[in-house]
Amino acid sequence: MPLRTEKPRLPVRLLSSSLRDQPVSSLAEPVLEAFEAATGVVLVPTDVLPQGRGLAALLLTGGTEARLLELAAGTPGPVLVLTHGAHNSLPAGLEAVARLRREGRPVRLVHLEDEVGRRELPALARAFGLAQALSGKRVGLIGKPSPWLVASSPDPEVLQTKLGIELVELPLKEVLGRLPREASLAEGPGEGIGPEARTMGPRVEAALAELVAELGLDAISVACFGLLPYGLTACWALARLADQGTPAGCEGDLVGLLALIVAQELTMGPGFLANPARVDVRGERLVLAHCTVPLSLTGEFRLRTHFESGTGLAIAGELVPGPYTLVRFGGPRLEEAFIVEGTVLSERPGREDLCRTQVTFKAPRGALRKLLREPLGNHHVLIPGLHREVLAAFHSLFLAEG
């Protein structure tokens, strides 16, 4: 998980006043070293504005306010201002940040001598890296979102404006027209699954993979229930694509897909998108269930039929126990978020009245009460590892405002 285990790197513009006759390099070197020593963040000087959203600037001296505002005007997204305790850096930061706040710009000031700011900078740096990785991605929406996802279809303009993600909308016939006649059998232990279903799943996988390659898509969400009348399910195909590095979501859900893309960028592996199906508030246990799961997240799995239709090919997997982060973005402009860290338990519900893969998640105290009282929607995503700080910083900076 590179964003968790390596030192975070943050590209920054170095700003200094022309009144200083001291070379920028000699001003910058001790400040850069001090930030790395105090925060573990490697500040990487750059003369190029970022291609994505967000601007980070290190104010080496005073007299840099106007230049910072000029750079901010040419860069969409939040502004991260770094200051230190010499050469009037902090006064310049206070003045510029006050102006940006007055203009309604998302902005954060991190001062080297502030313990809280030093503690927050690694998460902020990783959030900036995450946003940079998302910018420019092409996401395919194949078919219309399922009609029951009444809170999971944001205006594509939100993804483009806030994150620089391009949405490519395609009809389901683009999948149907690419189905090969034959395909190798899906391998693995099965229950009630014959050769036809074992072949059907890989055929859908081949069609989706071809579509992804042809259009240069970085992620897809498929209105999979629209495939049922053709005797097709996408459960196997979506799991396989996710394991191969292409986040793939169900039911045309763009909000859930965004969380899956974030999972891929954070961990270099997939997340698990599922329905919160059963909740024990007192015991702080949540059962999440879905009919597809990336096989790389499981210890064991069986091939079964799709739950709602009783046909096709689905996956009953057992997630590897351990620490996970549960995330859901929400609101008409994705300005809300539910992000909690917890543990996937080894408990296996094994219920026949739920989707095939069933996971028991032990949540922190009070989280499930909030889930019920202030729901943001159905699908939530489990991401392996503990990522609350980074995700909260990312959401606060890039999604919560505007």
Q: What is the CATH number of the domain that holds 21?
A: 3.40.50.10940
Among 302, 287, 173, 146, smallest CA distance to 236 is for: 302
C-alpha of 109 from chain center: 24
pLDDT of 21 reads 64
Domain boundary among 101, 134, 167: 134
- Residue that is written with structure tokens 């897909």 in the block: 257
pLDDT of 20 reads 57
Count other C-beta atoms under 10 Å from residue 29's C-beta: 12
Residues of the chain with pLDDT under 50: 1-4
For the segment 111-125, what is each residue's pLDDT rounded down to a tens digit? 999 999 999 999 999
Mark whether 118 and 266 lie in a shared domain.
Answer: no
State the virtual CA torsion across 58, 50, 21, 109 in degrees, nearest 10. Answer: -20
Q: DSSP class of residue 225?
A: G
CA-CA distance, 312 to 304, in Å (whole number)?
Answer: 8
Mark whether 145 and 171 lie in a shared domain.
Answer: yes
Classify burial at 145, counting beta carbons within 10 Å of its beta carbon; exposed 0-12, middle 13-18, buried 19 or more.
middle
CA-CA distance, 245 to 241, in Å (whole number)?
Answer: 6
Mark whether 220 and 267 lie in a shared domain.
Answer: yes
Give the domain range for residue 48: 2-134
Domain boundary among 106, 134, 162: 134
The encoded tokens of residue 139 equal 């996401």
CA-CA distance, 28 to 86, in Å (whole number)?
Answer: 12
Q: Which residues contact 217 (CB under 8 A, 6 or more apart)?
A: 138, 139, 140, 168, 211, 246
Classify burial at 100, counting beta carbons within 10 Å of its beta carbon; exposed 0-12, middle 13-18, buried 19 or more.
buried
Mark whether 382 and 249 lie in a shared domain.
Answer: yes
Mark whether 26 and 74 lie in a shared domain.
Answer: yes
Mark whether 16 and 113 lie in a shared domain.
Answer: yes
Domain boundary among 66, 101, 134: 134
Rg (CA), the chain: 23
Among 176, 330, 386, 354, smallest CA distance to 274 is for: 354
- Residue 168 near residue 139 (C-beta atoms within 8 A): yes
Mark whether 327 and 189 lie in a shared domain.
Answer: yes
Collapse the DSSP code of 163 into the 3-class scheme (helix H, G, I; strand E, B; otherwise coil) and give the result.
helix
pLDDT of 5 reads 55
CA-CA distance, 321 to 4, in Å (whole number)?
Answer: 19
pLDDT of 1 reads 35
Mark whether 53 and 107 lie in a shared domain.
Answer: yes
Mark whether 231 and 310 lie in a shared domain.
Answer: yes
The encoded tokens of residue 179 equal 């189905």
Say if pTM beats, i.e. exceeds, 0.75: yes
Q: Which residues contact 328 (CB under 8 A, 6 or more apart)?
A: 255, 259, 337, 338, 339, 376, 377, 379, 380, 381
Residues 10-23 as b/e (b if ≥16 CB within 10 A, e otherwise) read bbbbbbbbeeeeee
| 193: CATH | 3.20.14
Question: How many residues are given for the chain?
Answer: 402
